[in-house]
Amino acid sequence: MNARGGLGRYGENLAARRLTEAGMAVLARNWRCRHGEIDVVALDGDVLVICEVKARRGGAYEHPMAAVRATKADRLRTLAGHWMARHGGAPPGGVRIDVVGVMVPDRGAPVVEHVRGVA
């Protein structure tokens, strides 16, 4: 595994933990279909949550949340539709797209931010 893959996996582990601590049930991680991948699929009460995880090392790179632009949001909505088609449709509470950003500094604890309903 390369350093980038390791950082991504670490960020996804932290994100899944944060969502679980917030009371959500993680249904799937790294769910793939021919249209792409959803990092984390969770259930928040009766709301299906499609969660994009962005992890960055501290430094000159853009903030992780800035990496989810309109094109990525559109792709996440499309992937949500494919998930629902394969798993029995939309739940009663509908669907929400969240982003978890993870900043990993050179020293100290990572900073994990969870933003709900970004798209």
Name the token pair of 106. 């050179």
pLDDT at 7: 87
Q: Is the distance from CB of 36 to CB of 77 less than 8 angstroms?
A: no
CA angle 31/97/6 to nearest 5° reads 45
pLDDT (tens digit, 9 = 90+) per residue, 12-59?
Answer: 999 999 999 999 999 999 999 999 999 999 999 999 999 999 988 876
Domain count of the fold of the chain? 1
What is the CATH classification number for the domain harbouring 13?
A: 3.40.1350.10
Would you put residue 109 in left (φ > 0), alpha (ψ -120 to 50) or beta? Answer: beta
pTM over 0.85: yes
Range of the domain at 33: 3-115
Residue entry with tokens 């899944």: 16
Q: Is the pLDDT of residue 1 over 50?
A: no
Instruction: Tell me how far apart the 2 most distant CA atoms of the chain are, in Å.
Output: 45
Comparing C-alpha atoms, which of 36, 42, 72, 70 is closest to residue 54?
Answer: 72
